[in-house]
Structure 1
Amino acid sequence: MNNDDEPIRFDTKLAVLLRDDLASWQRLNVTAFLVSGIAATTPELVGEAYEDADGTQYLPMFRQPVLVFEGSKEFMSVAHGRALGRQIPVSVFTADLFATGNDRDNRAAVKAVARDQLDLVGLALHGPKNAVDKVLKGAQMHP
């Protein structure tokens, strides 16, 4: 029996890790870009469309919370390595992407740099709770 009053629990975690030295506008921009990769590749995370009491339709959103963390430049590399080592799909945003203006140039900027040399300013990942927690161990919740 489905009880609408019971709390909803999730087996997975959806998280964004931002470098702690970004300007406010950069944090917002990076977060938006990063979660779009998760939405595009994990459609089951997206819920149903919204509708207000007047019948106006709105776009659907993620079915679960997006947790946002921050860490140092060095921690970004550590978390990146942990995510890849655990085979958790991850979207990346590098400092170079602030100078590009389209998807083609964004992909070219990432492709031009070796994995261990990426100047990471943001990561987004979705996976089992315990695995995501291990990747983000040491990060702080975004203020």
Structure 2
Amino acid sequence: MRTDHAPVRFDTKIAVVLRDDLLTWQRLNITAFLVSGIGTAVPEVIGQPYEDAGGVRYLSMFRQPVLVFEAGKELLRAAHARAVGRNLPLAVFTSDLFATNNDRDNRAAVRAVATGQLDLVGMATHGPRNAVDKVLKGASMHH
């Protein structure tokens, strides 16, 4: 019998992988951009709106944890290839996006580069736990 206090275990995983040579501000900024893609593409990961005891309402957030990993450039490239191969929802952030400042230019910068040539600095994915674990093989939890 499940109680309201029983731990919740999710069948899916939301994960962000960041390149291990980024500055702190870059890691935070990239993570925010990447997870916004997951929230829009996979609406079932969004929970209900929040409300405090005073009746002030707040926006909905993910209903499950977002796990953040780090990896070297080659491991990030391999994780990207595995995620693409498994057809998982995927958001990417490339080094070219540091030089742009709007969505139109961001999309153009990604479109200009072949899949295998993207200079990835981060990616986010969502899917069944085991599939995401296989995509992230070798990456370590961010610290």
TM-score category (smaller protein):
over 0.9
- Residue segments in structure 2 that go unaligned for 5+ positions in a row: none
Write the deviation string for residues 93-141 of structure 1: whole angstroms up to 9, x where unpaired: 0000010010000000000000010000000000000000001010010
Query: What's the counterpart of residue 75 of structure 1?
Result: 75
Aligned partners of 1:88 and 1:60: how far apart in 2?
23
Cα drift, residue 3 of structure 1? 2.6
Equivalent in the alignment of 2:49: 49
Moved more, 11-20 or 85-94: 85-94
CA distance in 2, matches of 1:134, 1:59: 32
Deviation at 1:2, TM superposition (A): 5.9
CA apart distance, 1:44? 1.0
CA distance in 2, matches of 1:110, 1:9: 35
**Are residue 134 (structure 1) and residue 137 (structure 2) matched?**
no
SS at match of 2:13: strand
* Pairing 1:1-143 to 2, within 5 Å after superposition: 3-143=3-143
Match of 2:64, SS state, is coil
Amino acid at match of 2:63: R
Q: Secondary structure at the match of 1:61?
A: coil
Tell me the SS of whatever aligns to 1:67.
Answer: strand
Cα deviation code 1:39-83 (max 9, x no counterpart): 011111110111111111111100000000000011111000111
Q: Secondary structure at the match of 2:48?
A: coil
Identity %: 69
TM-score (norm 1): 0.97
Aligned-partner residue type, residue 77 of structure 2: S
Within 2, Cα distance between the matches of 1:51 and 1:78? Answer: 41
Give the Cα–Cα distance (whole angstroms) in 1 for the partners of residues 68 and 41 of structure 2: 19
Structure 1 unpaired stretches of 5+: none
Report if the CA contact (8 A) 2:17-2:124 is conserved: yes
Q: Is the 8 A contact 2:41 2:89 kept in 1?
A: no
